[in-house]
Amino acid sequence: MPVQLRLGGADLLRCRFAVSPLWETQGAARALAHPGPYHLPWLRRSAPVAAELGLEPLWLLMPARGYTPDFLCPPPAGGPVPSFAAELARVRATDPATARAEIARSLAGVPGAADSPAGRDLLADPARAVRTVAGLLDRVWRTLVAPDWPRLRALLEADVAFHARRLAEGGLTRLFAELHPRVSWSEAAGTLSVRLPHDHTCVLGGEGLTLVPSVFVWPNAVGGAAGGAAGGPGCGPARLPGGGGTGGETGVPPVIVYPARGVGGLWTAAGDGPSGALARLLGPSRAAVLTALAEPASTTALAARLGLAPSSVSAHLRTLREAGLLTSYRVRHQVVYERTPLGAALAAGGR
């Protein structure tokens, strides 16, 4: 059963990517509330810390299946990478009446939640509830997400660069074909479909569509429906037209959150590394850099993963690029490196 977004010409001109630290923070909190077989290294080191943060009121609004209040994750605004502080300010500005309606709807989907002491407390004073959950999101950000944010941001921006290139090479058809298995695009109908456990059709009104790569949504894509957002296991709602919005916003772009490329190796060490033959050919560190570029990455991200000095990684990347094994392109303030077909074949043969 799909959610279908019908895009007009004005919407197609306003499709964009954004990276959201608030969405990652909300996703991290959700991953802690419903731990699964993903992000295990991060979960193992974060769960003991999270247990001391008192996140229960926030977790109560994050059911494994069902509705998560829209005001917890407003659409990214204010540039391609808004600051966490700016995004959290929008959460804090939520109208209490909107907050109460969304909280009530979320609690109603979990048997007994509305009648629990924590649920009654959230409903009794929605203005205080907004302050409480915003404060908890701030704790999750500062304690559990911000320390890893440079690494997360590098991966997310590399994903945006990858998909932007696919858009340039093959238009929306190629972009959506590679975004996620749940997402499909019909050029003839001008309709983007997201396979979810409910049906809904939304006709966009020229506000466009925002695509948000995420680490913590992986391996799902997040979707929902106007007035009826819902997520699968480990997912929150994706904003579609007509949602409650922060402070009752209207005319904001719908959002689809999809898993970023390269998440599978994000929390792992360099692993077994290159083979002895490849290390003898290129040198151990240079071979490790080439092997680690299974997904596009920046110098900073590679240095963090390999435990090498950024200056050393930069020198190795320059040599590999000059040898025709890598290509590079700029994503705003960073240079992202990607293996060429020759580099990929060499890395594959050297494992």
> Is the pLDDT reported for residue 318 higher than 90?
yes
What band does 253 get if pLDDT is binned at 50, 70 and 90?
Answer: low
Beta strands in 7-60 (DSSP E): 16-17
Residue 35, domain member (yes or no): yes
Per-residue pLDDT tens digits for 47-82: 999 999 999 999 999 998 888 999 998 888 877 889
- Is 240 part of any domain? no
- Among residues 240, 264, 288, the one where a domain terminates is 264
Residue-number span of the structural domain to which 318 is assigned: 276-350
Residues 256 and 281 in one domain: no
Q: 328 and 190: one domain?
A: no
CATH number assigned to the domain comprising residue 285? 1.10.10.10
Cα(129)–Cα(126) distance, integer angstroms:
5
Any domain includes 243: no
- Residue 156, pLDDT > 60, answer yes
Residue where a domain stops, chosen among 217, 240, 264: 264
215 and 306 fall within a common domain: no
The pTM is what?
Answer: 0.75
Q: What is the pLDDT of residue 268?
A: 63
Is there a single domain that holds both residue 283 and residue 334?
yes
Residue 304 carries which side chain, given as an amino acid letter?
A: A
Residue 229 has a pLDDT of 38
- Say what the pLDDT of residue 96 is: 96
Q: In what order do the strands lie in the sheet with 255-259?
A: 16-17, 210-214, 255-259
The phi and psi torsions of 194 (rounded to 5 degrees) equal -125, 115
134 and 34 together in one domain: yes
Looking at the fold, whether 256 and 298 belong to one and the same domain comes out as no
Exposed/middle/buried for 310, CB within 10 Å: 0-12, 13-18, 19+? middle
State the pLDDT at residue 241.
39
What span, in angstroms and rounded, lies between the C-alpha atoms of 340 and 324? Answer: 7
Alpha carbon distances (Å) from 340 to 7, 126, 135, 205, 345? 35, 54, 45, 41, 9
- Is the confidence at residue 252, as pLDDT, over 70? no
Residue at a domain's end among 238, 264, 290: 264
Q: Do 215 and 280 belong to one domain?
A: no
Looking at residue 228, its pLDDT comes to: 36
- Least confident interval from 10-19, 28-37, 83-92, 130-139: 10-19
Do residues 182 and 302 share a domain?
no
CA dist 284 and 278 (Å) reads: 8
- Residue 270 maps to a domain: no
18 and 102 in one domain? yes
Residue 124 lies in a domain: yes
Total number of domains constituting the chain: 2
Task: Indicate if 195 and 156 belong to the same structural domain.
Answer: yes
Amino acid 80: pLDDT: 80
Same domain for 210 and 102: yes
Residue 51 within any structural domain of the chain: yes
Question: Are 257 and 302 in a shared domain?
Answer: no
Distances (CA, A) of 22 to 10, 90, 261: 27, 10, 19
Q: Which pLDDT does position 197 carry in this prediction?
A: 65
Q: Is residue 85 part of a domain?
A: yes
Mean pLDDT of the chain: 83
| Structural contact between residues 285 and 178, judged by C-beta atoms closer than 8 angstroms | no
* pLDDT above 90: residue 246: no
Write down the pLDDT at residue 349: 66
On whether residue 144 sits in a domain, the answer given is: yes
For 168-224, how does the pLDDT look when each residue is reduced to its tens digit (9 = 90+)? 888 888 888 888 888 888 888 888 888 776 667 788 888 888 899 999 988 787 754
